[in-house]
Structures are given as structure tokens and as C-alpha cells.
Amino acid sequence: MNGYHGRFLKVDLSELKTKDMPLFEDDLRKFIGGATLAAKLIYDHVEKDMDPLGPESPLVFSTGPFTGTSIPMVSRYAVSGISPLTGYWGEATSGGEFPFRLKGSGYDGIFITGRADHPVYLYIDNGSVQIKDASHLWGKDIYETQKIIKGVLEKSGLSVACIGTAGERQIRYAGIMNDKGRAAGRCGLGALMGSKNLKAVAVAGKRKPDLTNRKKVKELAKEVLAAISGSFGAVALREYGTLFYMDFGMSLGDAPAKYFSKSVFPAEKVTGQALRQAYTVENYACPGCPIGCGREVKNFRKDLDSVDGPEFETANALGPLCMNIDLDSIIRANHLCNAHGLDTISAGVSIAYAMYLYENGVLTRDEAGMEIKWGDGNTVVKLVEMIINQEGIGKLLSQGTLRMAQELGRDVGEAAQVKGLEIPMHDCRAFHGLAVSYATGPRGACHLKGDYYNVDIGIAVPEFNIMPGNRLSSENKAENAAKYQSLRDLYDALTLCKFAPFSVTQISQLLNSITGWDVSPADLLVAGDRSINIKRAISNKLGLTREEDRLPKICLKALKEGSTAGKVPDMGLLLKDYYDFRQWDWETGKPSKEKLIELGLNPVAEDLYPK
């Protein structure tokens, strides 16, 4: 099993016991690693009506065959489980040093169930495991937590992933943070970790699995490095971080404003360039990445020497979506979310929804206890604090937009979410391929597997015959969007950064050189399809039907401005074509029995279609 250690660490927190859990080559060939392998491991533990925050609900940290190798842009890990926010399949990924160290610890991943009767953290070092008391860490923010653990363990090369107070309080969109402000932010997996009384996972070690053809891996790594150096995206990301997209995105109608009711705003105030003009900004990188898209704002305030710079998603959600173009408040709100471990996208969308409700007289000043006006940066910061502290109106906002709408008796079509996961900061009216991906994504509205905007602005995938087309057309779009979704799902199995400009052929060659397998680009597409389908089957087991493959009305209303004015995706056509291509059942929303068997998911087929 080259490329793998061949084992996970299995942890039962109720019993405070750990043991090795062997992996089988047949499963690795089928499910590869990362979030996809996690889905395979989680599948058998899922039962209808399962409480995502119950002790039996699994939480999985996983790496893939690329993690820890000399290939650039592969230091990533996935966290998976049943989402406390959606109640369906949930996953989130993050970069930084943690993934590299997790693989170095001698395990491919960690499978956690149970609930400790007091706060604990896990410490794994070169194959040895300890469950340690974390009572003194409960209540600490993520920066303090990481610092204290590193100070106590005094181990060089130690990396920590942890929750903040948002995870401890089981806020449904709490994330897991590693290496300072790196975030596995989405789906509320920090709340799942908090429900287990697990404050942190600390990992160290330099163990590396064998590679089948080390020389070839090195050669290919050199080749892809050259591709990165010659890529426009790499230069833009290095110079300005993901924020480089703000003004370009706005010109495409792809950066939503005023709770998805506008697409034109003074973008120049909140770009990566504006950040650099206003502050001293340094960039940082995941190990082995020549780009370094991370931002650090230096000398931000007297009491805050250095803070994480906001990513595009964060800056848009806490900024223009709330009609806020005050960078200082965006940085402060981002810092609070990071320090306490809160998903900035769900937080920003929930705050923007509150502003919309306030404008429409649904939330009054008396009910809210404050004014919640568009464009007020201080209000954005205050509401983030109130969400974290579960104070006043913050308690309602901490539920996410779907529960907010339900609690207030509103039409759920005005809650900007899919399956409960808040819509990210790409507008489905700007790219119709994105629209169908949002509606059908394995974790709900997901810009990382639904990033069809990359294709329609010029990035082709010739191996799968995916070519750029008319971004505002729904005709003949769904099949390619589905294929692209499968490919991007595979990145989180391998694990590979979504910004890596590698061809599918290079990805298959890298995988073969590491593992000794003989995987073709076409086989990779099958693996991606398998991944999408097993995650779908988990959600089906938890009650998901086709009814929930839909976009909210608020995001489908034609805009009167910008480059998408008057245009909306044809969701009926897109979904029909998507279902036909995927061979999903139009009545039940399940993958067909034939499709599951074709993908080698026979036990899943038997489970979803009992005799």
C-alpha cells in the first residue's frame, strides 16, 4: 500500500480508548483517501434520525495519498461527519502544516466516536497516542489553545487543530481551526468536535509511507511546479490572496451584495490591492506551496499585532453582502470568527439576512435590541460577537438562515442556503454551471466543488471534454457541471489544493507513481462519480430527497443591474439533465440501483434498495 500507512487511529472518547484500524487496499483503490475514504468509513455508522451531535456520530480527520509527499500544494486534510448544520453529509478541508504532520504521525487519519466526560485533547506523535486532559483549555480561543498546547508538549514540528468557544458551545456553523487561522470552516464540524468534548488534536512526526517510484514522483513534481510558475492564477494569489477576485468577480456579477439582491458595489474598497494599500500585509504558504495565498495583516492595532487577512469569501460575506465596505471592520469580524472558530460564510450570510429582515420590518429595533442597518461595519462586528457569546439576537443568528426563517415563520425561500448550508460568495446567476452544482453538491451549496466558474472563464478539462462555454446559458451545461463536480470532489480525496493548476493526466500519473496503480484519467472520473454517489447515499439514508436539490428563491430573482441583469438559470432544465446524467431517481433523489452497482457500490445498492 504505497502512499499510505494503511491504518487509521480509532478513538472511542466515551471509553477513552484508542486502537489501530487497518485499511484495505481494495477500499483505497476505490475511495482513495480524504473526505471520500471518510465517507466509506462513516457509511456503516449512519442511521436514519441520527443526532449529528450524539456520541455515536462519527468525526473523521483524514489525509490522502498525496499528503506529505514532495508534490507541491498537497498539504491538506479533510474533516467529515454528519453536519450539525444540515443534518446530512458534511465535510470541510483545510491546508497548513497540520495535514503534513497528521500524515507524519504515522496514521492516514483518525476515526472518532463517543463523548468524553470532561474536555480532552488527542496527542499523536510518531505512532504513539495519548488522550490528555483539556479542562484548562476549555473557554480559550484557538490562538491561545494552540500556543498553550505547543508550550506544554515542547515538541518541534508539532501542529494543532482545535475548536474555539463556538465549537464548545456547539454553534451549528462552528469550524475547526489549525495552524493559527487556517479553517476547515463549513458544515459545523467544530460543533461536532465540541459535542465530543474534544478541544484539540495535536500531531507530530516525520513518518512517510513508501512511494512506488520516487524518482518519477520527483520528476512529475518538477513538471507541475513549472505549470504553477507559469499560471496567472498563481501570480494573482501570491500578490493579493483570494481577495484578488473581488473586483473581477463583481464585474461578472459573481460577487453577491445586499443579501443577494445586488451585484454592483464599490468593489475597489475591498480588494486585495486595497488591503495592501491600507495595511502591512505579508503572505504565507502551506508547506510545499510556491504560491502562498494566505494573508497576515501586521500592526493591525495596538492590542492586535498580527491578524489573519480575510479571504475573498470572508470579505464578501462580512462586507458587500452586508453592504459593508469598511475593511477595518471586515478584518475585525474575520479575526473574531477565526479566534472563536466560526464559519465566516455562514456568519456573514446570517448577518446579511438579519439586515434584510430589519429593512423589511420583520425584525424591529426592540426585538433585535439594536439597529441592524445595511453597511454598518460596527454592527457586523457586534453581531459576530453576539453570535459567539450567544447573546440576544445573536442566538437566533447562530442557527443559520434556514432555522432563522423557520423560527420567524418566514418563507424558507428567502433563506440563502441549500440543504441548510449558507450560499457562498459566488452568485448562481453569474454561472449556470455553478447553479446546478450548488443545488446538488454533496454538502449543500459548495463553491469548492461547484466552481464551474473556473471552466466558463477559460479553464478547460480536455481529458473529460469539458470546455468553456456561455456562462449564462443552461443548455447542455449540467453534464459537464456534474463531471467537473466529480473531479473537484476527487481533489479532496487525494488531497490536492483547488488552486493547483495540474492537468487530470498529471494527477493520474502522480497517483500511479505513488501507489503503483494503473489509473487512467477516465478511471479518475469514475472514482469522482463514486465519491459523489456514496456521499449522496449517506444523505439519502439521513432522509435527503430531490425536494432539497433546489436553490432559494432569493438567489434566483433576476437582478436589475450588472452583467447578469435579467438572466437567471433554468433550474428545471439543469436539474433534469443533471439527474439524467447521474442516473439519479427523479422521484426519490437516490442514485439508481444500476448506477451504484456500476460504480462498485454494491453494499450501498443493497442498503438503499432492500429486497
Summarize as ranges the residues that interact with ligand SF4 (CB under 6 A). 73, 95, 237, 285-286, 289, 291-294, 497, 499
The minimum distance between CB 92 and ligand SF4, in angstroms, equals 13
As a residue count, the chain comes to 611
Task: Pick the closer one to ligand SF4 by CB: 2 or 231.
Answer: 231
Report the C-alpha gap between 46 and 213 in whole angstroms.
Answer: 38
H/E/C letters for each residue in 520-565? Answer: CHHHHHHHHHHHHHHHHHHHHHCCCCHHHCCCCHHHCCCCCCCCCC
Residue number, 291 or 448, with CB nearest to ligand SF4:
291
Gap between the Cα atoms of 605 and 598, Å rounded: 10
Closest approach, Cβ 503 to ligand SF4, in A, equals 17
Give the pairing of strands 294-301 and 280-284.
antiparallel
From the CB of 492, what's the least distance to ligand SF4, in Å?
Answer: 13
Q: Measured between alpha carbons, how far is 273 from 432 in angstroms, rounded to an integer?
A: 29
Of 197 and 495, nearer to ligand SF4 (C-beta) is: 495
Residue that is written with C-alpha cell 463583481 in the block: 250
Measured distance CA(493)–CA(498) in Å, rounded: 12
- What lies within 8 Å, CB to CB, of 37 at 6+ separation is 23, 27, 28, 31, 62, 64, 108, 109, 493
With DSSP H G I counted as helix, E B as strand and the rest as coil, what are the percentages for the chain, rounded to 5?
A: 45, 15, 40
Reduce the secondary structure of 122-167 to three states and give it as a string. EEEECCEEEEEECHHHCCCCHHHHHHHHHHHHCCCCCEEEECCHHH
Write down the least CB distance from residue 285 to ligand SF4, Å: 4
Which among 388, 385, 235, 241 has a CA at the least distance from the CA of 313? 241
Nearer to ligand SF4, 171 or 494 (CB): 494
Minimum distance from CB of 218 to ligand SF4 (Å)? Answer: 19
Nearer to ligand SF4, 283 or 588 (CB): 283
Nearer to ligand SF4, 292 or 375 (CB): 292
State the nearest-atom distance from the C-beta of 289 to ligand SF4, in Å.
3
CB 424 within 8 A of CB 468: no
Q: How far is the CB of 337 from ligand SF4 (least distance, A)?
A: 18
Residue carrying the nine cell digits 464578501: 316
In angstroms, rounded to a whole number, what is the distance separating the alpha carbons of residues 145 and 168?
13
Of the pair 14, 283, the CB lying nearest ligand SF4 is at 283
Residue 365 CA to its chain's centroid (Å): 34
DSSP E strands: which ranges in 317-386? Answer: none
Write down the least CB distance from residue 150 to ligand SF4, Å: 21
Residue (of 255, 282, 259, 283) closest to 269 by Cα position: 255
Which CB sits closer to ligand SF4, 57 or 242? 242
d(CA 324, CA 338): 19
If the CB atoms of residues 18 and 178 are measured against ligand SF4, the closer one turns out to be 178
Q: Quote the least distance from Cβ 501 to ligand SF4, whole Å.
A: 10
Q: Are strands 120-125 and 198-204 parallel, antiparallel or unpaired?
A: parallel
- Nearest approach, Cβ of residue 202 and ligand SF4 (Å): 21
CB of 350 to ligand SF4, least distance (A): 25
Query: Residue type for 279, please?
Result: Y
Q: Are 8 and 124 in contact (CB under 8 A)?
A: no
- Whichever of 244 and 356 has its CB closer to ligand SF4, that residue is 244
Residue 372 or residue 496: which is nearer to ligand SF4 going by CB? 496
**Closer residue to ligand SF4 in complex, CB, 225/285:** 285
Q: How far is the CB of 283 from ligand SF4 (least distance, A)?
A: 8
What's the min distance (Å) between Cβ of 259 and ligand SF4?
28
Contact between residue 220 and residue 512 where contact means Cβ atoms under 8 Å apart: no
d(CA 84, CA 61) in angstroms, rounded, equals: 16
Shortest CB 100 distance to ligand SF4, Å: 11
C-alpha cell at 377: 461595519
Q: Choose between 293 and 357: whose C-beta lies nearer to ligand SF4.
A: 293
Closer Cβ to ligand SF4, 292 or 413, answer by number: 292
* 133 grid coordinates: 486532559
| Terminal C-alpha separation, the chain | 36
